[in-house]
Amino acid sequence: MVAHGSFRWNEVYALKQRWGVSVRAIIYRAHFLGLIDPIQYRRANVFLSKSGQTKGEKDDYLVPREDPHLLQDALSVMRDELQIPYRSVARQLGISLDVLRKLTSLALEDNSADVNVTNLAMHRLRNLK
């Protein structure tokens, strides 16, 4: 990754594709593990910034995007196991169901018959605070 004090960027981008993480994360981890010194870390970040790679990096299109499953699974457990409708989750978060849909990128159907009824599990969760 580093030869004679300078980065071999082609190797860094190969690591990005292999591990599916950002170049900035690879550089950070290399610095954290002591594989590069503070000066190399700073130079790498300056390079990424000057080359316009602070919001999007070279070869981003080669790294497949993963769908977030943890949030979807958590919401499914809340609905299926705890009987907490999505509308109740949204209300407890102080947002509308439409906003929850947009934030999660999930097709959240609302099957709650009466949104004025407080779910016992949600009531207990609120009172734990």
pLDDT at 14: 87
Both tokens of 37, joined, read 């010194």
Per-residue pLDDT of the chain (129 residues; tens, 9 = 90+): 666 567 888 898 888 888 888 888 899 999 999 999 999 999 999 988 888 887 777 777 676 676 677 888 888 888 888 888 888 889 999 999 888 888 887 777 766 554 556 667 767 777 776
Side chain identity at 17, as an amino acid letter?
Q
Helix (H) or strand (E) holding 3: strand 2-3
pLDDT at 114: 47
Q: Give the count of beta carbons closer than 10 Å to the beta carbon of residue 28.
A: 16
Q: 1 Cβ partners below 8 Å, 6+ apart?
A: 7, 8, 11, 12, 15, 30, 35, 36
Taking a C-beta distance cutoff of 8 angstroms, is the pair 90, 99 a contact? yes
Q: Give the residue extent of every domain in the chain.
A: 2-62, 69-127
Specify the residue for token string 């207990």: 124
- pTM for the complete prediction? 0.50
Both tokens of 88, joined, read 């109740």
Q: What is the DSSP letter of 32?
A: H
